[in-house]
Amino acid sequence: MSKTESIGKKAVSKPKQKGENLVPIFIMGKRYEVPASLTIQKALEYAGYQLVRGCGCRGGICGACGTVFRYPNSYRIEVGLACQTVVQPDMYIAQIPFFPGNKAVYDIETLPATGSTIAALYPEVFKCVGCGTCTRSCPMDIDVMAYISKAIQGDITSLAENSFDCVMCGLCSARCPAEEVQYNIAVLGRRLYARHLVPKARHVAKAVENSEKKLWDKTLNDLKKMSQDELKKAYKALEIEPDMADEFWVPKDKTYVQED
């Protein structure tokens, strides 16, 4: 597979800066020398790749940059996010911007928030052999095996809570001997939890009701008529909630405060 096909267009690699400590790495088998302080993502760009896939937030949030790598003389396949992992000498690197996984189609409104829903949509969940490979693969340090165990038990709340930090990189699934797609099972759990189990927020319902009564229309129309300077002045005059305010904080002007 060519560079262009797998991770992006070829751009011009950067010339070496004086005093830079360079280390050799291998990108899909080809040797490059890159500064030792770079993340894999920056090293790919330094080597001349323009990333058009497998790169999103650059901050460990979007999960687009799943990468596998291996050191010489090691039998282990290592995994990590390219934007978070610093290069090491002689790394062999390949990106997995997308991993093909089983994804059930469903209408969340009609599904019961029980273990039987997970069993029906993802019956392979019961094939888990408890090997822990998924947990060891996760760049977000999530105990993936534990949330799969919650899915098997039908404990939707724990499944949702334990998988909350998942960035959908797919690395856990790539190495699962039971061919589970853990992150899609987790998404189902979080959707069931959010739609059917989490208590309704009264203030949101009240806000929707007030909006339907067009309670804020006059304020919005007044704002729309303001010039940029007037908007800035109005914004600066607002009483801003202090950073460390407790949950009982209310502004002095209670015009827009909704009572429960």
Residue 83 or 186: which CB sits closer to ligand FES?
83
Point out which span in 34-42, 106-114, 126-134, 152-160 binds ligand SF4 (CB under 6 A): 126-134
Task: Tell whether residue 47 is a contact of ligand FES (CB under 6 A).
Answer: no
Where in 142-161 is the site for ligand SF4 (CB under 6 A)? Answer: 142, 144-145, 148
Nearer Cβ to ligand SF4 (36/62):
62
When binding is defined by CB under 6 A, the residue of 7, 38, 47, 65 that contacts ligand FES is 65
- Reference 143, options 166, 119, 118; nearest CA is 166
- How far apart are CB 164 and ligand SF4 at their closest, in Å? 10
Q: Does residue 80 touch ligand FES according to CB under 6 A?
A: no
Q: Which of 38, 40, 43, 55 binds ligand FES (CB under 6 A)?
A: 55
Give the residue, chosen from 7, 45, 46, 63, that forms a contact with ligand FES under the rule CB under 6 A: 63
Q: Answer yes or no whether residue 118 interacts with ligand SF4 by CB under 6 A.
A: no
77 touches ligand SF4 by CB under 6 A: no
Residues near ligand FES (CB under 6 A) are 55-58, 60-65, 81-83, 167
Residues near ligand SF4 (CB under 6 A) are 63, 128-134, 137-138, 140, 142, 144-145, 148, 166-172, 176-178, 180, 182-183
